Amino acid sequence: MPTSQQEPHPKPENLTAPSTLRRLVLTGFMGAGKSTIGRQLASRLGWEFLDLDTHLENRTGAAIPELFSRHGERHFRRLESTALASALGRSNVVLALGGGTPEELTNRLLIEQTPDTLAVFLDAPFATLFDRCMLQAIDRPVLADAAAAALRFAHRRPFYTRLSRLVVDTSALTPEETTEAILTQLKLAPLHQLPASR
């Protein structure tokens, strides 16, 4: 009687990114999961993960709040744009943007005009994002005034949408499911078939 070979349990599949893709840029508000999902995507693709805020802090030797208080927002945004240009110079990287990065036209143009780059908007309603941030128990001064934070989200959301060629509603998804949704989209639709930035 022939013996049946037991198949091994499937492992998470390591994927090869489309040949036309060198950078994934994740955008969205606080609580969207940019860092968590970015690390998972980088791991699955065998790429580097880079958080823009961390990259900026490493370049300047100062924490983000310190840069804001020492130089003001205008100078901070210039430093951020320089750090973004540096980050976009890398290949095979998943880059998580700061929540305010897409507000600056310079930053949007940098991303849009860097070849082989796909921006992904991790979307969810403000209430969902706010609750996620509260559960993380991280001190986020911007959320101290919920009404003001909601207005900030409403102001930024069109920039996230305009920048991104792929939008994923994460409100009912775990980080793992969001990662899978992005990877599935990349497998189904090569970069040139995705809609252009809005």
pLDDT digits (tens, 9 = 90+) for 60-88: 999 888 888 888 888 888 999 999 999 99
Looking at residue 134, its pLDDT comes to 73
- How do residues 104-122 score in pLDDT, each as one tens digit? 999 999 999 999 999 999 9
Provide the pLDDT confidence category of residue 55 given band limits of 50, 70 and 90.
very high
pLDDT at 1: 46
Give the pLDDT confidence score for residue 197 in this predicted structure.
54
Q: 64 near 97, Cβ under 8 Å?
A: no
Give the integer Cα–Cα distance in Å for 93 and 50. 7
Of the candidates 13, 90, 91, 19, the one whose C-alpha atom is nearest the C-alpha of residue 45 is 13
What pLDDT was estimated at residue 7?
A: 42
Complete domains list, the chain, with CATH: 23-190 (3.40.50.300)
Q: Please name every residue paired with 96 in a beta bridge, in sequence order, or none if there are none.
A: 26, 51
Q: Using alpha carbons only, give the angle 157, 158, 160 rounded to the nearest 5 degrees.
A: 65
pLDDT digits (tens, 9 = 90+) for 123-174: 999 999 988 877 665 656 666 677 888 999 999 999 999 999 999 999 999 9
Q: Give the confidence band of 190 by pLDDT, cuts at 50, 70, 90.
A: low
* pLDDT above 70: residue 198: no
pLDDT of 148 reads 87
Confidence of residue 191 (pLDDT cuts 50, 70, 90): low
170 is written with which tokens? 């994460």
- Nearest residue to 80 via CA among 93, 68, 94, 92: 68
Kindly give, in sequence order, each residue whose CB lies less than 8 Å from that of residue 32, ignoring residues fewer than 6 positions away: 26, 122, 123, 124, 129, 170
